[in-house]
């Protein structure tokens, strides 16, 4: 069975359905973004040698409002310092995700529970993954993911939490990952049909897989709930050593009307590493 479709083949296969067009609660409604712009976040794993409380206190000083990809036990640490966790860890894994029905028995109840925890803590978004193909067709994966997600989004709608599936590259970092194209992710959003299910558009990953980042944002922003950054090649700093023009990309995100979070997810090279993060936030503040 052929599982790695070309863009032309995927367009043809989806043609019938695709139509691109004890701490204080920190609700998104209570901490609205500045008019006309998105908000800044950072992924904790990139700064693994810095304790979470120390990182949160430091980044707050230069305009970052969130430290993300945290588990529930870590949320109070950043909330105590007046920050949020813009994207909580979910319960799926990159390799074993929502594209197999046999995983739904575990993931549907665990994701519903995680959504409830997010809502109670005022956390706006929670991440999940498609899983690897492992011989499955992209069309079958779409069907299976939609079946599982439709069992989850009702709770997300009720609780005001957005479930985001991350798009990852299957060329360099995550071999065989199914959700590796924006087109596939948009089709999944349309099948699920809920404003509480969107894509986490990782600029680094999608540059590797398909490029054309700004046009994709312009055409598909309605299906994107969150953004991640990093330089390519190598998930390096977002400076002039790599091929992405981040100020232009940030202007495109801003022009789309997006008022959610953009999270820095590059691996810093400078010493101290927070100098890299400070420079990246400044570069992206368009």
Q: Please report whether residue 64 resides in a domain.
A: yes
User: Residue 64: what are its φ and ψ, rounded to 5°?
Assistant: -80, 135
Q: Considering the chain, what percentage of its residues have pLDDT values greater than 70?
A: 87
Q: Please report whether residue 234 resides in a domain.
A: yes
End-to-end CA distance of the chain: 46
Q: Please report whether residue 221 resides in a domain.
A: yes
Q: Residue 49: how many CA atoms within 13 Å on its side-chain side?
A: 6
pLDDT at 161 over 80: yes
Q: Please report whether residue 175 resides in a domain.
A: yes
Q: The pTM is what?
A: 0.88
Domain that residue 169 falls in: 38-284
Per-residue pLDDT averaged across 31-45, rounded? 75
Q: Please report whether residue 23 resides in a domain.
A: no
C-alpha to C-alpha distance for 119 and 123, rounded to whole angstroms: 6
Per-residue pLDDT averaged across 38-57, rounded? 98
- CATH number (domain holding residue 42): 3.20.20.150
> Which band of pLDDT confidence, cut at 50, 70 and 90, is reported for residue 185?
very high
pLDDT tens digits for range 229-277:
999 999 999 999 999 999 999 999 999 999 999 999 999 999 999 999 9
Q: Please report whether residue 29 resides in a domain.
A: no
C-alpha to C-alpha distance for 14 and 115, rounded to whole angstroms: 30
Q: Please report whether residue 26 resides in a domain.
A: no
Question: How many distinct structural domains can be found in the chain?
Answer: 1
pLDDT of residue 14: 42
Q: Please report whether residue 43 resides in a domain.
A: yes
pLDDT of residue 36: 53
């Amino acid at each position: 069975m052929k599982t790695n479709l070309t863009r032309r083949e995927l367009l043809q296969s989806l043609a019938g359905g695709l139509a691109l067009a004890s701490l204080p609660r920190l609700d998104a409604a209570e901490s609205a973004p500045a008019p006309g712009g998105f908000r800044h976040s950072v992924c904790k794993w990139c700064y693994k040698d810095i304790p979470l409380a120390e990182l949160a206190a430091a980044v707050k000083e230069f305009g970052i409002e969130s430290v993300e990809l945290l588990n529930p036990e870590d949320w109070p640490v950043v909330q105590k310092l007046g920050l949020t966790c813009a994207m909580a860890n979910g319960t799926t894994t990159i390799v074993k995700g929502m594209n197999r029905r046999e995983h739904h028995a575990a993931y549907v109840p665990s994701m519903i529970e995680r959504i409830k925890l997010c809502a109670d803590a005022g956390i706006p978004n929670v991440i999940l993954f498609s899983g690897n193909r492992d011989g499955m067709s992209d069309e079958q994966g779409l069907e299976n993911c939609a079946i599982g997600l439709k069992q989850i989004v009702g709770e997300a709608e009720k609780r005001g939490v957005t479930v985001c599936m991350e798009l990852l590259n299957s060329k360099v970092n995550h071999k065989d990952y199914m959700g590796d194209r924006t087109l596939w992710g948009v089709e999944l959003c349309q099948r699920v049909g809920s404003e509480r299910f969107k894509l986490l558009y990782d600029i680094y990953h999608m540059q590797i897989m398909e490029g054309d980042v700004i046009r994709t944002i312009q055409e598909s922003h309605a299906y994107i709930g969150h953004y991640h950054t990093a330089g390519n090649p190598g998930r390096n700093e977002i400076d002039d050593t790599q091929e992405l023009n981040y100020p232009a990309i940030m202007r495109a995100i801003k022009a789309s009307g997006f008022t959610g979070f953009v999270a820095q997810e590059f691996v810093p090279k400078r010493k101290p590493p927070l100098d890299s993060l400070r420079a990246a936030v400044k570069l992206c503040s368009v």
